[in-house]
Structure formats: structure tokens, C-alpha cells
Structure 1
Amino acid sequence: MFYVDQDLPWQAIDGNSKRKVMAIGESMMFVKVAFALKREEAITVHRHPHEQITYVLKGAFLFKIGEHEQLVKAGDSLAFLPNQEHGCIPLEDGSELLDAFTPLRDDFLLS
């Protein structure tokens, strides 16, 4: 299956970020997340039952995994275990991530 970037819809997450499901397999998916502006607020953490690998496409982020915070930049990657608490804030305008999830994030799929 081929997925053409320009044909894929963006989904608004909030006023500063959006996501695009880039590819869907039988049990894993790629999701691009784009942030319009840098943020200077506390990191909001979350957790989910999916394993996640994140690659920084553009810009820089402050990520938090559990109690550890780390600056990551374009070219860096991270891995999150299922139900591991994590979150980030973009440190540069126009920062982007590519996330891989398994199993599929049904909550990200458009009906």
C-alpha cells in the first residue's frame, strides 16, 4: 500500500498542533505530529497502552519520560514502553515528530 503525503488529511490536536496518519499496517502505524509554535510551559504527560517509537523530524523538543527530562533535536529518537508516562514541549517553531505505534491507535483513525 502506498500513502502519498499530500493526499493525507491533518487532524487538529489543539490550537498549536496537528497530526497526520502517514501509514497503517496490520498492527502498527506511522503518525506525523506538527507544532506551529514553540512553547514555554510545563510538560503535560500522558500514557497509553501502545508501544511508541518517536523520531524528531524537525526542530527541538524537551521530552519527559517518567521523571527524566531530555533535550532532543532533529535526528534523535526515543522509545516508550506501553503505559510509560511521557510528554514533550516544542522548543522551536515548526518542530515535527514521526511516531510509530503498535498496536494501532484506533483513536487516531478517521472513520
Structure 2
Amino acid sequence: MFFNQADLKTQVIDDNSYRQILAHSGSLMNVKVFFKQATPAAPIPVHQHVHEQTTYVLKGAFKFEIREATGTQVQEVHEGDSIYFPANVLHGCIPLADDSQLLDSFTPQREDFLQ
């Protein structure tokens, strides 16, 4: 299946971020996430979901937090870096540069993003 840029819808996440759902099917989904401004002083908002996730930094820099049973990891990542998140693990990020972008992949696809 083809997903052409001209046909992609933009979903607002909050005042500083939005996403575009890219190619997806029942077992896999790609999502591009855009951040307008850096928020280095903000606390990292964490969340969890049943999906496995990988994240690739397309542009800019981020501070990521991952909370596992073995402890909390906080690390800065930059363009070209990638991260893996197991299912149900608390994680989150804040952008450290204006106009930062991520490419997230989920398995299975995020049905909540499609509603």
C-alpha cells in the first residue's frame, strides 16, 4: 500500500507538537512527530502503551527518559540516534532544539491514533 505525502493528515498532539501517520497496517505503523520549539526546562512527560516502539531522531535533539524495573535512564539523543522501547515501559521526551522531528514505529499499530 502507498501513503503519499499529499494525502497525509496532521494530528495536533498539544500546543508544541503534532504528528502524521505514515505507512501502517495491523501489525506495524510509522509516525512522524514534529516539535515546534525546544522545551529544555520542562519536565519529561512519561507514558506507556502495550506497543513495542522504536524511535529514530530525524532532526534536532531530545532528552529521553525510560523507566524500567531495573531503574530510570535519562539520555540526550541527536539526529541519527535511535531508541527501542519494550511494551508497557514508561518513557517520554522533551525537545532540546526548535523544529525537532522523530520517526516512531509501533507494533502492533496504534489504533488510538487512527480514531
Place the TM-score, normalised by the shorter chain, in its bin: over 0.9
Identify the residue that residue 95 of structure 2 maps to in structure 1. 90
More strand by share: 2
Q: Which amino acid aligns with 2:60?
A: G
Q: Which amino acid aligns with 2:55?
A: T
- Percent identity reads 54
Deviations 1:30-87 (A, max 9, x none): 0000000000211011100000000000000000011110000010000000001100
Q: Which amino acid aligns with 2:98?
A: D
Distance 1:12 1:44 in 2: 16
Alignment of 1:50 onto 2:51: yes
> Taking structure 1 as the reference length, what is the TM-score of the superposition?
0.96
Q: Which amino acid aligns with 1:13?
A: I
1:93 is displaced (CA, Å) by 0.4
1:2 is displaced (CA, Å) by 1.2
Alignment of 1:20 onto 2:8: no
Identify the residue that residue 60 of structure 1 maps to in structure 2. 61
Q: Which amino acid aligns with 1:71?
A: E
Distance 2:22 2:94 in 1: 22
> Taking structure 2 as the reference length, what is the TM-score of the superposition?
0.92
Q: Which amino acid aligns with 2:30?
A: F
Distance 1:25 1:106 in 2: 10
Q: After TM superposition, what 4+ stretches of structure 1 lie above 6 angstroms from structure 2? A: none
Which structure 2 segments of 5+ residues have no match? none
Distance 1:15 1:106 in 2: 23
Identify the residue that residue 33 of structure 1 maps to in structure 2. 33
Q: 1:109 aligns with which of 99, 105, 114?
A: 114
Matched residues, number: 110
CA RMSD, Structure 1 to Structure 2 (Å): 0.8
Distance 1:10 1:55 in 2: 19
